Amino acid sequence: MSSKPLLPVKSDFVFKMIFGDQRNAEILAAFLKSVLDIPEYEYERLVIIDPHIKKEFEHDKYGILDVKVHTKSMSVVHVEIQLQVFPDLKQRILYSQSKLVTEQISSGQDWSVIKRVITIIITDELFIHNSDDYINQFRYRTANNIEFSRLSEINSLELGKLPMETDNTALWYWTKLIKSDDEEALDMLSQRDPHIKKAVAVLKELSADERARMLYEEHETRRRDIASMVNGARKEGRAEGHAEGHAEGRVEGHAEGRVEGRAEGRAEGRTEVLGDVLHNAMSLNMDIDSIMRLTGLSREDVEAMKK
């Protein structure tokens, strides 16, 4: 066994280092095949979009850590790990999905240029509350399963729902790979599939690389700092809102004043502290997508607060 523990695949940083590297396109293809029901020929040419994670971190940037890929027909597949589920995650996923559609077409072009967009969102926490399945697919369909269009698809993969016992599908083994950081368990998975074996070999190589480990630890430190900052800001905003609302309501002297004052105080307190979070996040060179992911704000809200 390695002298140092393996890096966790479910870290977005490590995940992209393995699956977001064009040299590992066959690993990514094998994983996507286990999740998606797109034609086999689509995997004949996978082009990973913006694979410059190392350059971003060497220049002290808190980069976007999604994996985006074009298939042979130029469909877009977007894979994202979001271990913590925040309240507006579904809205943010829909926004990102819509952007991947609208950015394909410019003024004067025909609607036919728009290609299919598929999102895979991987979470560690409970995400889809009304399903016990660890994989769920969402498309535009009627209640009786008549499909409107295949242009947009979202797949949720929840690590916490993975059954202890295998269901003998490729997806179970790939999900187990992402979820586990135990070297013995991963070695056993390696025996199931040559692509999983290669993925584990890449993981071991990364884990033994001092530079990669340092970048991972730097990334995790930044993530914890920002998460702590966001959580502290939310608590402070709730406390300030409650205090201001209670004071204003007491001055008004009736129930309506208390309710309105408390609501206004909460809103003002949240706006003020989120402004502080945004300022600190920008000082760490975080991009807008990362700020959206951590705060739950929309792109318009972030851009408006930056002005």
pLDDT of residue 277: 64
Q: What pLDDT digit, counting tens, does each position of 80-103 carry?
A: 998 888 888 999 899 989 999 999
Q: How far apart are CA 243 and CA 152, in angstroms?
A: 45
Q: How far apart are CA 171 and CA 34, in angstroms?
A: 5
| From 95-104, 105-114, 216-225, 258-267, the region with the lowest mean pLDDT | 258-267
| 215-221: average pLDDT | 85
Q: Please say if the pLDDT value at position 258 is more than 70.
A: no
Q: How confident is the model at residue 47 (pLDDT cuts 50, 70, 90)?
A: very high
Q: Which amino acid is at 176?
A: K
Alpha helices in 8-145, H assignment, sequence order:
12-19, 25-35, 53-58, 89-102
Say what the pTM is. Answer: 0.75
Rounded-to-10 torsion of CA 160, 163, 169, 174 = 30
Sequence ranges of the domains in the chain: 12-208, 215-306
Q: How confident is the model at residue 287 (pLDDT cuts 50, 70, 90)?
A: low
CA distances, 243 to each of 21, 27, 105, 116, 160 (Å)? 50, 54, 49, 49, 38
Burial class (CB in 10 A: 0-12, 13-18, 19+), 118: buried
Please give the structure tokens belonging to residue 161. Answer: 């729902």
CA distances, 216 to each of 15, 43, 148, 149, 191 (Å)? 11, 29, 42, 40, 27
Q: How confident is the model at residue 286 (pLDDT cuts 50, 70, 90)?
A: low
Q: Please say if the pLDDT value at position 212 is more than 70.
A: yes
Q: What pLDDT digit, counting tens, does each position of 120-176 carry?
A: 999 999 999 999 999 999 999 999 999 999 899 999 999 999 999 999 999 999 999
Q: Which amino acid is at 59?
A: H
pLDDT of residue 27: 97
* CA atoms lying within 13 Å on the CB side of residue 167: 14
Per-residue three-class SS string for 157-216 = EEHHHCCCCCCCCHHHHHHHHHHCCCHHHHHHHHCCCHHHHHHHHHHHHHHHCHHHHHHH
Q: Which residue has the higher pLDDT, 281 or 177?
A: 177
Q: What pLDDT digit, counting tens, does each position of 50-59 carry?
A: 644 444 444 4
pLDDT of residue 15: 94
